[in-house]
Amino acid sequence: MAKQMIKLFKAIEFAKEAHKGQKRKGTREPYYFHCLRVCYILQNIGIEDEELLCAAILHDIIEDTACKHDCVKREFGKRVADLVQDVTNQENKKPVLNTKEGTLIKLADMLDNLKNNTNKRYIGKKKELILEILAKYAQTKNK
């Protein structure tokens, strides 16, 4: 448990530093607060896998900062880097979501994004995407 906490604290500090100066869209809130909430959502549903939780904290690193896959891999290992890559939007396209873990991170990310948004068009689009992701997850689960 203590080792897990050390890795999670490392991920928190890493995300805080990487997202330094970034604010959540339309707020003055430091961006990394969102990253922490995504991790918290997964913990609340019973996820204890330290690498999955670290990837949740780091989920926007590749997309929104100078740190890319090799940087995450060097600091946190291949699995964490691959999970972060799995949820990263590719050139303004939807993320690939090759893994159930990546799907869980993306759904937690979207849930947090919806919590603080009142734009009905945005919420409608995200709802459609969440349903699409859930359908894809159901397909992979049945294989």
Residues taking part in catalysis: 63-64
Helix (H, G, I), strand (E, B) or coil at 95: coil
Residue 49, number of CB atoms within 10 A of its CB: 15
Look up residue 139 and give its two tokens. 């397909």
Number of H helices, E strands in the chain: 8, 0
Residue 59, number of CB atoms within 10 A of its CB: 26
CA angle 140/142/143 to nearest 5° reads 65
d(CA 137, CA 57): 21
Look up residue 30 and give its two tokens. 């430091």
For residue 119, the 8-state DSSP code is -
